[in-house]
A and B are shown apart, each in its own frame.
Chain A
Amino acid sequence: MDRNKIYPWYFTGGAVFIYSLLCFIPGVLGILYSFTDWNNFSREINFVGLKNYISVFSGHSEYMSFIGNTLLFTIATTILKTVAGFCIALLLTQKFIKFKNFHRMVIFSPQVMSYLVVGLVFRSMLHPTTGFVNNFLKSIGLERLALNWLTDLKLVFPSVITVDVWKGMGYIMVVIIAGLVSISSAYYEAADIDGASFWQKTKSITIPLLKPVIINVIILNVTYGLRVFDMIYSLTNGGPGNATGVINTAVYKEFSKGNLAMGTTLSSILFFFILALLYFILRSMDHKEMET
């Protein structure tokens, strides 16, 4: 039978059309516009070459701090979420834990809430004078620990990261549990006969067999972290000052100021960043497959 006849190409038309029009074309157009001085104040658009890129990467511009913050946020949340998700997944697959499914459901539940809502909830919970966290700390006599979580320059980044981990770890847990369940119990039975301890089993069976899943989880976390917007915008709006500003909040700021060319330049930088990263990850995976 003729495959091209039974499975005609135009069935893909709808998806390809909508995706190209509203995701791919803007991406290409954005890269082209990043070489211009496009803005809301004049009708003319002039070619300016690499000027926008140079002003982002020249010395100590505020843009560099946005890029730095984005990287810091990505690295910190990726490590914390992966480790936390893995530990909880291990814990909640043990036989002796009671109400496993209830715990799993509860820990996953923040994932279905909007980032915006989580941001607002924690903005009120972490309010220095009326928030729940500080009230609670005061009521149990820990007044010294009642701090300005979201306005203190030193504390704000760890606070934001903690909230993000609170929301995201359940998702990672579910993914890792799916991986854990697919590991054949024969390995563990053999290890039990040899008298292996829990840690030995984790180190020599679970982690090696879970490697593909963990790589996926890391890719998920990294691409989320680099693109983060809602969480930061609703929790701190990039403040205090620019302390928690990331690339996507900067894009929005430039967009509302009318500096469209700068906004699209920052977006394009993020695009190249993720493209390069995915290329390296995929290449290193191919490499490993060839070795084995």
Chain B
Amino acid sequence: MYGTKKKIKHFFANCISVIMSILILTPLFVLIINSFKSSGEANSMSLTLPKVWMVENYKTVIEQGKLVTSFLNGFLYAVCSVSIIVTVVSAAAFVIGRNRRGVNRFLYFFIISGIAMPINTVALMKVMQLLQLMNTRLGIILIYAATNIPLSLFLSYGFVDTIPREIDEAAVIDGCNSFQLFRRVILPLFKPILSTLFVLNFMTVWNDFMMPLYYLNNSKKWPMTLAVYNFFGVFENSWNLVSADIILTLLPVLILFILGQKYIVSGVSAGSVKG
């Protein structure tokens, strides 16, 4: 008796997990199916398969939605800002993590307070105007770098401890100065955390929507998210095209997610379990 009862429980628990996954996957399936329908069929969204698979939808979307430019823009912003983040954060984490006293301790808390603090978007506009960075690509890249530095520093600060101090001492005795020590010895050992930072920050920047909304008013400089939003406004009644557009936006992050899953999950769990 006890055994069957347990089996039924296990069966139900498995069912619940499957239902949860279906709940998450349904919207994605609906999108994929609808992106291949003709505009008439897509008028009402449903799970019925399209009669003719319209691959042209994607072509229309890429042409009409100016997706090539915005894809390149988004890619440029993400790659540049992530490179800045990785460079300045690894240097800062190395020094602050090794020497935790005095000014460094203050600087650490000063920066990581930015994890929770909201950005004053209106006043940031003023600063951008003063620096002549309004509506420029450089401006948006620097904003992304600045807003993502706090969490990145927090993640890599914890990682510094995993590298034994003796390595530094040996390098210094062998005649390394601090720059060489950092470049030749520490950076190669930082690789795992740098990959995590790269993947996490790339996705944050790629997915962001608020900064271009505030600080870029030229549609030629828009990244994917803003282009999709604009497309949605114009083609709100052609679900098939909107779906295709959304799928194209999702594709890069989904690929990155599947390839870099390990780094994302370790970053996410390190960030909040240690804190």
Contact = CB atoms under 8 A, between A and B. Distances in A.
Interface of A: 1, 3-9, 11-12, 14-16, 18-19, 21-27, 29-31, 33, 88, 91-92, 94, 96-100, 102-103, 105-110, 112-117, 120-125, 127, 129-132, 135-136, 139, 166, 170-171, 174-175, 177-179, 182, 213, 216-217, 219-220, 223, 226-227, 229-230, 233-234, 248, 251-252, 254-255, 260, 263-264, 267-268, 270-271, 274-275, 278
A175 to B, nearest CB: 5
B17 A33 contact: no
Interface in B146-191: 146-147, 149-150, 153, 168-169, 172, 178, 181-182
Given A103-B20, A229-B210, A267-B122, 9 more contacts: A15-B92, A21-B127, A22-B124, A31-B120, A33-B123, A91-B13, A125-B27, A131-B45, A175-B273
Nearest to A94: B13
A234 B275 CA distance: 31
Contact of A132 (B20, B45, B110): B45
Interface in B98-139: 98-99, 103-104, 107, 110-111, 114-127
B265 interface: yes
A7 B98 contact: yes
B45 A120 contact: no
A26 B147 CA distance: 12
B272 interface: yes
Given A91-B17, A105-B261, A263 B46 contact: no
Given A121-B31, A125-B30, A260-B122, A96 B169 contact: no
B21 interface: yes
Instruction: Identify the interface centre among A5, A123, A130: most chain B CB within 10 Å of its CB.
Output: A130
B14 A227 contact: no
Contacts of B115: 223
Interface in B41-58: 43-47
B16 interface: yes
B91 interface: yes
Main secondary structure of the interface of B (DSSP, over half): helix
A234 B208 CA distance: 12
A28 B114 CA distance: 13
B265 A227 contact: no
- Which of under 10, 10 to 19, 20 to 34, or 35 or more describes the interface residues of B? 35 or more
B207 interface: yes
B95 A9 contact: yes
A26 B124 contact: yes
Contacts of B219: none
Contacts of B172: 1, 6
B161 to A, nearest CB: 14
B88 A15 contact: yes
A31 B120 CA distance: 9
A166 B24 contact: yes
B118 A11 contact: no
Contact of B272 (A30, A113, A220): A220
A6 B168 contact: yes
B257 interface: yes
A80 to B, nearest CB: 14
B143 interface: yes
Given A15-B149, A114-B206, A255 B31 contact: no
B94 interface: yes
A175 B268 contact: yes
A74 to B, nearest CB: 13
